[in-house]
Amino acid sequence: MDSSSEHNLRHVRSIAAIHSTSTCSDDELVFPDPNFSSNALVSSTTDYLDMYRRSIQDPSGFWSDVASRFHWERKWAAGGAVFSENLDVSKGGVSIEWFKGGLTNICYNALDRNIQSGLGDKIAIYWEGNELGQDATFTYAQLLPKVCQLANYLRDVGVTKGDAVVIYLPMLTELPLAMLACARIGAVHSVVFAGFSAESLAQRIMDCKPKAIITCNAVRRGSKLINLKDIVDAALSESANNGVSPAVCLTYENHSAMKREATNWKQGRDVWWQDSVPNYPTSCAVEWVDAEDPLFLLYTSGSTGKPKGVLHTTGGYMIYTATTFKYAFDYKPTDIYWCTADCGWITGHSYVTYGPLLNGATIVVFEGAPNYPDSGRCWDIVDKYKVTIFYTAPTLVRSLMRDGDEYVKRHSRKSLRVLGSVGEPINPSAWRWFFNVVGDARCPISDTWWQTETGGFMITPLPGAWPQKPGSATFPFFGVLPVIVDEKGVEIEGEGSGYLCIKNSWPGAFRTLYGDHERYETTYFKPFTGYYFSGDGCRRDKDGYHWLTGRVDDVINVSGHRIGTAEVESALVSHPQCAEAAVVGIEHEIKGQGIYAFVTLVEGVPYSEELRKSLILKVRKQIGAFAAPDKIHWAPGLPKTRSGKIMRRILRKIASRQLDELGDTSTLADPSVVDQLIDLYDS
């Protein structure tokens, strides 16, 4: 075992000796209830250390044992390597492989395997609609034939193994169903969040060139009607102009939002789901795929402005999501699990669809908004379905916290036993409210750190195993070897802050960026040779607990959604009256980070409120409402070096009103720009 793993283990060993005697945040400890710990899958630091030590010292043996609990039509080569890796660009191309040569299918493992083990009559999905009283229930035995019918339809229209299918759906049951149907036949699904604009959707269609698009005509989210089919039509028109025309647009009639008669239609391309899919057989032969065959593409924002197509493969991702779900939430077969994330993001892939269903869990899928018809909706759903595990984002926690305790306390919530947080660091005050008010000070919080690229949890508490510190992701999951490095790539031991990297591969790691392996290596493996670079900053305290400090690159984390600054800047400068733009992230009480845009107008164009609104609308149209700037700051000029580089550090300080921390501005081509920006702060 190398020094990094010994260092991690040394810190975790010290937990048992920690006592809650200090009042500073780093020393504030919340201990698990002894009764909870005694029944937990990992009930102590000793149990964790035994498993973690083996996962680092013998990753092949550890993950082989885990993988053997799943169905493999053919095991990976006997006596062969369970995994191979090269994370060091100086030694050749970056490559990660797990269980290569093994044949499996994630849909079969999520559905058929569970039915064969006697779980056919167990509820797989509770679906809760936008409006009160709208709901549906699907057992595993009911879900499988519906998945097979869609899989057969896709095969019939020409979708084969390796073909891409774009899914642009709201949180209907048909969304996870469509993902599973693609996986069953070896197709590669690319789910696009149904809040992205037509231009963003078109960009993704043009990149992956799908054989088919799956959407619905419309959705109501809260009181708002969103015409998804019109967005898809506009996206397909744009992609066609660029030579990409999927043959089929399968459209589900979401009759509670819009009748089919009101839906725009293109004969020969558009097909109603309800008129076609139910006519297909309810059984469908499984396409057995290699563990390293692609499972899905998911586009995430990058600092260059072009979204990155993160590619995950089948076998390692399957094993990793199932295992992280099981241990990080202390999953029991009697649990009712609800993750509030949308399947358009990685959390919805790993911890709405695949991780839970691979464990035979019962999940809640919610179509609506968490504050509709009021801010008690979440707790109404918790009580209705007797939810035991509730996994959500700090953004929602802060929003509900602001709305007051009464919405929470008028509901029982007695069924809850584990809470979870995802998407961004949760600040200690929100953590405490979540723990004390929502969880009645009895539910441990799995404050998870991970990314689209990692596939599953990387640093996370294990409920019952050790005391928590509000706001800390605590310790690494099995098989994960995190290190903190300085700007020169030197590992920092003990207490310290720096760049968070991972020193080894893990089964759930993404394998490449679709069609751009060079960008994959440049973005994630070249900044610090020999490591996966997360792009996040991290602080490790004296007890070894990890505290995520946010992005260190040009990506803003808004409500758990990663948005590239270049992407927003590109949208702004496409406005005919915008000459230049620079975007930075700022702290936001609800969203975690907000988008702050400095805008330089074309010469002679006056500032106006109408123009400000027009610029924001431009971003909403090109990217989506979630990327709309929170503030437009008029900028006669931007602080640049003599070589033309924009000094974003200065812009962040101005945006945050940290004017005493501007630092040396003498290197700027025009230092007077800074004073002008400060003067225009309230304009």
Q: Please enumerate in sequence order all residues whose Cβ is within 8 A of that of 482, keeping only pairs 6 or more positions apart, or say none.
A: 8, 458, 459, 476, 500, 501, 502, 503, 538, 546
Q: Dihedral sign, CA of 177, 248, 452, 183?
A: positive
The answer to whether residues 292 and 39 touch, using CB atoms and an 8 Å cutoff, is no
DSSP letter assigned to residue 14: G
Residue 418: count other Cβ atoms within 10 Å of its Cβ: 25
Cα distances (Å, whole numbers) of residue 222 to 88, 251, 368, 375, 620:
48, 22, 6, 11, 19
Q: Which of 553, 670, 679, 682 is catalytic?
A: 553
Token reading at 388: 């035991």
Strands 578-588 and 592-601: antiparallel
Residue pair 170/303 in contact by the 8 Å Cβ criterion? no
Cβ count within 10 A of residue 203: 22
Secondary structure tally for the chain: helices H, strands E? 23, 30
Which of 355, 387, 363 minimizes the C-alpha distance to 460? 355
Listed residue (174, 150, 157) closest to 284, CA to CA: 150
| DSSP string covering 620-653 | HHHTBGGG--SEEEE-SS--BBTT--B-HHHHHH
Contact 480, 328 (CB under 8 A): no
DSSP state of 617: H
Q: What is the DSSP letter of 101?
A: T
For residue 323, give Cα distances in angstroms to 65, 235, 258.
11, 37, 40
- What number of other Cβ atoms are within 10 A of residue 84's Cβ? 12
Rounded distance between C-alpha atoms, residue 211 and residue 245, angstroms: 8
- Cross-strand partners of 584: 596
Beta bridge partners of 594: 586
Query: CA-to-CA distance for 528 and 522, rounded, in angstroms?
Result: 10
275 counts as catalytic: no
Contact in structure between 533 and 524 (CB atoms under 8 Å): yes
Q: What is the DSSP string of 109-158?
A: IIIIHHIIIIITTSEEEEEE-SSTT-EEEEEHHHHHHHHHHHHHHHHHTT
Side-chain-side CA neighbours of residue 211 (13 Å)? 16
Cβ atoms of residues 398 and 590 within 8 Å: yes
Hey, which residues are catalytic here? 553
